Amino acid sequence: MDVDRERLREDIEENAEFGRIETDSGRGRTVLTGTEANREAREHLVERLEDAGLDVRIDAVGNVAGRWTPESADPEAAPVAAGSHLDSVPEGGIFDGPLGVYAALEAVRAMQDAGVEPTRPVEVVSFTEEEGQRFASGLLGSSVAVGERTVEEALALEADDGTTLGEALEAMGFRGEGLLDAGEWDGWLELHVEQSERLESADVPVGVVTAITGITHCEATVRGEANHAGATPMDDRTDALAAASEFVLDVERAANEVVAESSDTAVGTVGSFDVRPNATNVVPGAVEMGVDVRDVEYDSMETVVSRARESLDRLEGERGVETEFARPFDLEPTPMSDRVRQSAHDAGERAGIETMDLHSGAAHDTMHVAEKTDAGLLFAPSRDGISHNPKEWTDWDDCATATRVLAGALADLGGA
């Protein structure tokens, strides 16, 4: 079983025209949920699904699914499914999301061309609002598909301009009916660009993800005393920014020590700073910080978070500041299904394609799907590890190679 490299390339390049942006290098697009570019991308996908003979349905939150039910398949059997998303970050690349959607479609077409006869239907899925750039914080469509969020809650979400998701979907003509239920699938696979350099460095064309990282977001506040930068002696200051700077280094040190001692996949980042009053001639009076901690081992995440709390306690005692700490978002690591992973490795072996195990440091819709059914995630190499950027690039041969593994795994999971 082979895939049509040029057909896959044409699909991705045609999709890249929707929301296309001018850029000095690379190829960029901005496709936010509910925009004209999003409508065009969705309509084009529906056309391509129907051209391949798939039965297309749109659910109440705009998730798109096309089902292939060949004569060999029991139409009542639980289907296997694959896909990703079509929305992007502002000024994003052309592969993040669309590769997974159109690779799933190409996998179905490859099975059709080769006369493969699965005993289960196969679904191609595009989830709504994975990137979280306009409504909610990401993974929206899949959160509804697994029951993490109700349809009513999702449709009521508002963009910055006051438009609700329901209104945006209605305007596009993609507010459908019913609910895409991931629990009805016998298995799921998503192909995505790696967004890192491990495959490129190892010169391996396909990654099979072992687990998707857990993610914790914390909010740390340090309060000192704002005062005149010229008239306040150095030994009479309670500088919130100086104290916050020590906190940043403590978080970095904690993550590095966890990497050295227990888990080399742990990361800790202080990624946002809000300094008040933020004036050059004023000793900073308060700093609010956003902390991101991730790993595939939850104990390691707990260690970094604990060290962050200890840092704030130390700063209160040593620098006289007041501190606060909150943990509003906490998502544990998600292991991938052994059955699905083995199908992917077996598909690579049958096709003579090398695969390697690795973890995902970014969130994907597959995190949600894994709550309800056996799920897997495949990676294709990213040139220089760049993503969410017009310079994001995955060679067309690598796209096709990863799609061959996806097709083989889907055929296996589908009972062919």
What CATH number does residue 242 fall under?
3.30.70.360
In tens, the pLDDT along 157-213 reads 999 999 999 999 999 999 999 999 999 999 999 999 999 999 999 999 999 999 999
Question: Are both 223 and 177 inside the same structural domain?
Answer: no
Comparing CA positions, the residue from 218, 224, 236 lying closest to residue 315 is: 224
The pair of three-digit structure tokens given for residue 301, joined into one six-digit string = 């995440």
Residue 1 pLDDT grade (very low, low, confident, very high; cuts 50, 70, 90): confident
Cβ atoms of 301 and 287 within 8 Å: the answer is no
Per-residue confidence band for 295, with pLDDT thresholds at 50, 70 and 90: very high
Domain match, 244 and 207 both: no
Q: Looking at the structure, do residues 203 and 289 belong to the same domain, yes or no?
A: no
CATH number (domain holding residue 35): 3.40.630.10
Read off the pLDDT of residues 317-364 as tens digits, 9 standing for 90 and up: 999 999 999 999 998 999 999 999 999 999 999 999 999 999 999 999
Mean pLDDT of the chain: 97
Q: What is the 3-state secondary structure (H, E, C) of the chain?
A: CCCCHHHHHHHHHHHHCCCEECCCCCCEECCCCCCHHHHHHHHHHHHHHHHCCCEEEECCCCCEEEEECCCCCCCCCCCEEEEEECCCCCCECCCCCHHHHHHHHHHHHHHHHHCCCCCCCEEEEEECCCCCCCCCCCCHHHHHHCCCCCHHHHHCCECCCCCEHHHHHHHHCCCCCCCCCHHHCCEEEEEEECCCCHHHHHCCCEEEEEEECEEEEEEEEEECCCEECCCCCHHHCCCHHHHHHHHHHHHHHHHHHHHHHCCCCCEEEEEEEEEECCCCCEECCEEEEEEEEEECCHHHHHHHHHHHHHHHHHHHHHHCCEEEEEEEEEECCEECCHHHHHHHHHHHHHHCCCEEEEEECCCCCHHHHCCCCCEEEEEECCHHHCCCCCCCCCCHHHHHHHHHHHHHHHHHHCCC
Last residue in a domain, options 302, 331, 360: 331
What is the spatial distance between Cα 208 and Cα 142, in angstroms, rounded to a whole number? 21
Total structural domains within the chain = 2
Lowest mean pLDDT among 72-81, 88-97, 134-143: 134-143
Residue 234 dihedral angles phi and psi, to the nearest 5°: -60, -35
Boundary of a domain, candidates 331, 355, 387: 331
**Residue 37 shares a structural domain with residue 111:** yes
Which tokens sit at 152? 């009513």
- Range of the structural domain that residue 241 is part of: 214-331
Task: Please check whether residues 372 and 409 belong to one and the same domain.
Answer: yes
Answer yes or no: do 196 and 286 share one domain. Answer: no
What would the pLDDT profile of 17-66 be if each residue is shown by its tens digit?
A: 999 999 999 999 999 999 999 999 999 999 999 999 999 999 999 999 99
Question: Residue 159: how many CA atoms within 13 Å on its side-chain side?
Answer: 16
Q: Are residues 262 and 203 in the same domain?
A: no
Q: What percent of the chain has pLDDT over 90?
A: 98
Q: Is the Cβ–Cβ distance between 189 and 303 less than 8 Å? A: no
Whether residues 194 and 225 fall in one domain: no
| Phi (first) and psi of residue 274, to 5 degrees | -125, 105
Q: How confident is the model at residue 11 (pLDDT cuts 50, 70, 90)?
A: very high
Separation of alpha carbons 283 and 96, rounded Å: 43
- What local confidence, expressed as pLDDT, does residue 12 receive? 98
Whether 19 and 124 share a structural domain: yes
Name the domain boundary from 312, 331, 350: 331
Strand pairing class (214-223; 187-193): unpaired
CB-based burial, 135-161: b 16+ in 10 Å, e otherwise:
bbebbbbbbbbbeebeeeebbebebee
* Predicted TM-score of the model (pTM): 0.91
- Same-domain pairing of 14 and 100: yes
List, for residues 274-294, the tens digit of each pLDDT value.
999 999 999 999 999 999 999
Instruction: Quote the tokens at residue 7.
Output: 């057909």
Q: Does the pLDDT at position 400 exceed 90?
A: yes
Distance of CA 218 to the CA centre of its chain: 19
The reply to whether 259 and 132 lie within a common domain is no
Name residue 286's beta-bridge partners. 223, 276
Q: What pLDDT, on the 0 to 100 scale, is given for residue 21?
A: 97
pLDDT-derived band at 416 (thresholds 50, 70, 90) equals confident
Q: Return the pLDDT at 336.
A: 98
3-state secondary structure 343-399: HHHHHHHHHCCCEEEEEECCCCCHHHHCCCCCEEEEEECCHHHCCCCCCCCCCHHHH
Co-location of 243 and 297 in the same domain: yes
